[in-house]
Amino acid sequence: MLYQAPLAPKYSTMTEEDLRRQILARKSQLGRRLVILGHHYQQDEVLEFADFTGDSFKLSQLASQQKDAEFVVFCGVHFMAESADILTSDRVQVILPDLTAGCSMADMAGIDQVEDAWDHLTRTTDAVIVPITYVNSSAAVKAFVGGHDGACCTSSNAPQVLRWALGGEESGAPNVRRKVLFLPDQHLGRNTAFGLGWPLDCMAVYDPKLPNGGLTDEQIRSAVFFLWKGHCSVHQLFTARQVDEIRSIDPDYRVIVHPECDWSLVQKADLAGSTEFIIRTIENAPAGSKWAVGTEVHLVHRLAKRFEGVKSVRLLAGIQCLCTTMYRIDMKHLLWTLDELAAGRIVNRIHVDPETKTLARIALDRMLSLTGDGAAKTASTPRAIAACVD
Ligand code: 13P
Ligand code: SF4
């Protein structure tokens, strides 16, 4: 984790109203030189200052479209700011208000581990292996993937990216010659591949902490997907049992979850998809509908407030599922960042070196060219599973 210098004491003694007023003043002072991007999991008190909000895919698109701004202040986590730096021109400086806002999932795939896994897998099978990384990964991992003819994906387009990686090879087709190394979220990989009709026995979990990933040569030769053993510490708090509990309390609740959740939960849920998909589904749902949502608490509470009295929206789990690193971005850090910019000083710049940038950009551009609707599971997702073919 990066080090974040403590803020000057004055920021701790300011009232919320003072912070709000001064952030707005700094925003108008910096004008078009500044764009603030905010992920849906941010706290409301931060998101209210964002010029644009979105999920990881939409924010990457928005970052790539910034032509006028000199500064992009990213209210999200470190890998998102890195992606924004990769996708913007050299004159744009990307800033993360608190350097300790990382992502534990991204940290689960170190570049050395990925390189070791690649060496081992490509030595063991003659099949073409396409590396795919969820954007929740370091710039170094993205560069590795770009340099090996792979692509990034987000939860908004993971099915489209997997289809691309397999070159149109469908589940059940004979002589599958392409395989996918999916980094670093095993759950998104499993849910997406399964949603495309691939059976679970085509998927092998690659555990970077075990010799040879914990796989035998035979398992490597027969698997189609190598799912990196990573997960999101927030989404793993949602369980299939919570679906039973909620339905036993009120069977009218529909359950919608993010595909970073465990496969058994996604199977029980009515729908699964990216944060934009979740928002859109609830927006379009009829008045009186009831939703239990398996994703980060700030987004769920925002939806509950927005539709209060019209639709019922609640968190699927009884406990608060909070992304503690996103939560580190608060009004104090945002104001400090803007104060420094107004004084002509750039703090907390996220800068990816040019060589890494060039390769990572290949993977990110492929991701941006493969758009999806964010759905990981709908009523029409196939349930009949063909057997895995070797
Ligand atoms: P999306 O923004 O792709 O929905 O992913 C959620 C998430 O966990 C971001 O870190
Ligand atoms: Fe990472 Fe999960 Fe937080 Fe997203 S919600 S930033 S995947 S820890």
Would you kindly state where each structural domain of the chain is located, as residue ranges? 10-102+325-352, 106-232, 235-315
Is residue 387 very low, low, confident or very high in pLDDT (cuts 50, 70, 90)? low
Please report the pLDDT score of residue 342 as a whole number. Answer: 97
Q: Is there an atom of ligand 1 within 6 Å of 274 CB?
A: yes
pLDDT given at position 384 = 42
- Which pLDDT score is estimated for 138? 98
Closest CA to 38 of 347, 314, 298: 298
Tokens, residue 187: 């759950």
Q: Distance between alpha carbon 211 and the CA centroid of its chain, in Å?
A: 28
- Of the candidate ranges 87-101, 286-300, 374-388, the one whose mean pLDDT is the lowest: 374-388
Q: What is the pLDDT of residue 67?
A: 85
**CA gap 80, 59 in Å, rounded:** 8
Pairing mode of beta strands 178-183, 203-206: unpaired
Q: Is the CB of 53 under 6 A from ligand 1?
A: no
The residue length of the chain stands at 390
Q: Which residue has the tokens 């970052």?
A: 63
Whether the predicted pLDDT of 13 surpasses 80: yes
**Mean pLDDT for all residues in the chain:** 94
What is the rounded CA–CA span in Å between residue 105 and residue 94? 22
Q: Which atom of ligand 1 is nearest to the CA of 154?
A: 3
Q: Which amino acid residue places its CA nearest to atom 3 of ligand 2? A: 323
| Whether the CB of 136 sits within 6 Å of ligand 2 | yes
Q: Same CATH fold, 235-315 and 10-102+325-352?
A: yes
Separation of alpha carbons 117 and 209, rounded Å: 10
Residue 282 phi, psi (nearest 5): -70, -35
Q: Is 275 in the pocket of ligand 1 (CB under 6 A)?
A: yes
Q: Give every CB contact of residue 62 below 8 A, 6+ residues apart in sequence.
A: 37, 52, 54
**Residue 37 backbone phi and psi in degrees, to 5:** -105, 140
CATH 3.40.50.720 for domain 106-232, yes or no, is: no
Check pLDDT > 50 for residue 166: yes
Calculate mean pLDDT across residues 255-280: 97
Percent of the chain with pLDDT over 90: 90
Q: Which CATH number fits domain 10-102+325-352: 3.40.640.10, 3.40.50.10800, 3.40.50.970, 3.20.20.150?
A: 3.40.50.10800
CATH of domain 235-315: 3.40.50.10800
Q: What does the pLDDT read at residue 389?
A: 46
Residue with the smallest CA separation from ligand 1 atom 7 is 56
Q: Which two tokens stand for residue 362?
A: 């290949």
**What are 343's two structure tokens?**
């004084």
CA distance 39 to 96: 12
CA of 238 to the centre of ligand 2 (A): 14
Q: What strands lie across the sheet with 290-294, from one edge to the other?
A: 312-315, 290-294, 253-257, 271-273, 375-377
Instruction: Take atom 1 of ligand 2 and give the residue whose Cα is closest.
Output: 103
Residue with the smallest CA separation from ligand 2 atom 6 is: 103
Q: What tokens were used for 112?
A: 């050395």
**C-beta of residue 147 within 8 angstroms of C-beta of residue 362:** yes
C-alpha 44, offset from chain centre: 19
Tokens 């470190």, located at residue: 78
CA angle (368, 198, 202) in 5-degree steps: 110
Tens of pLDDT, residue by residue over 316-343, are 999 989 999 999 999 999 999 999 999 9
Q: Provide mean pLDDT across the span 38-43.
A: 97
Residue 287 clears pLDDT 70, i.e. is over it: yes
DSSP 42: S
Pocket probe for ligand 1: among 59, 153, 155, 370, the residue whose CB has the most ligand atoms within 8 Å is 155
41 Cα: distance to centroid of ligand 2 (angstroms): 9
pLDDT at residue number 174 = 55
Q: Which among 16-20, 164-168, 170-174 has the top mean pLDDT?
A: 16-20
Residue 72: count of CB within 10 angstroms of its CB: 26
Q: For position 390, what pLDDT does the model report?
A: 42
Give the distance (Å) from ligand 1 centre to CA of residue 123. Answer: 33
Q: Helix 139-147 and helix 354-369: axis angle, to 10°?
A: 70
Q: Give the number of the atom of ligand 1 that is nearest the alpha carbon of residue 56.
A: 2
Q: How far is CA 340 from CA 23, 95, 346, in A?
A: 12, 11, 6
Residue 347 burial (10 A CB sphere; 0-12, 13-18, 19+): middle
